[in-house]
Amino acid sequence: MTVWTVAWLLWLLAFCLIEGLALRNNVYGDTLSEHVWSWFSIKGRGSHWRARRFVLLALLAWLVAHFLTGGQF
């Protein structure tokens, strides 16, 4: 196991801990989903909402293509 594998596993563990704690309370804006909805103006039409949603769509499309092509895209 490389140092990078350990680092990514620690990052995943930290994410699970943070998200788990956020899911246990009723405070709005604490989970990753709620942050993404806010940042990319999903649940409302904040300033530049079309551009923000396009950025999210482009990022997710790139990520899917990147993973499915083995990094060739």
Mean pLDDT by 10 residues, the chain (73 residues): 98 98 94 96 94 98 96 83
Q: Could you tell me if residue 45 is inside a domain?
A: yes
**How high is the pLDDT of residue 73?**
72
Cβ neighbors of 17 (< 8 A, separation 6 or more) are: none
C-alpha dist (Å) from residue 57 to 7, 17, 38: 28, 27, 15
Q: How many domains does the chain have?
A: 1
In a domain, 34, yes or no: yes
The verdict on residue 15 lying in a domain is: yes
Residue 73 lies in a domain: no
Q: Is the pTM of this model over 0.75?
A: yes
27, 3, 31, 1: which is closest to 16 by C-alpha? Answer: 31
Q: Which domain holds residue 38?
A: 3-68
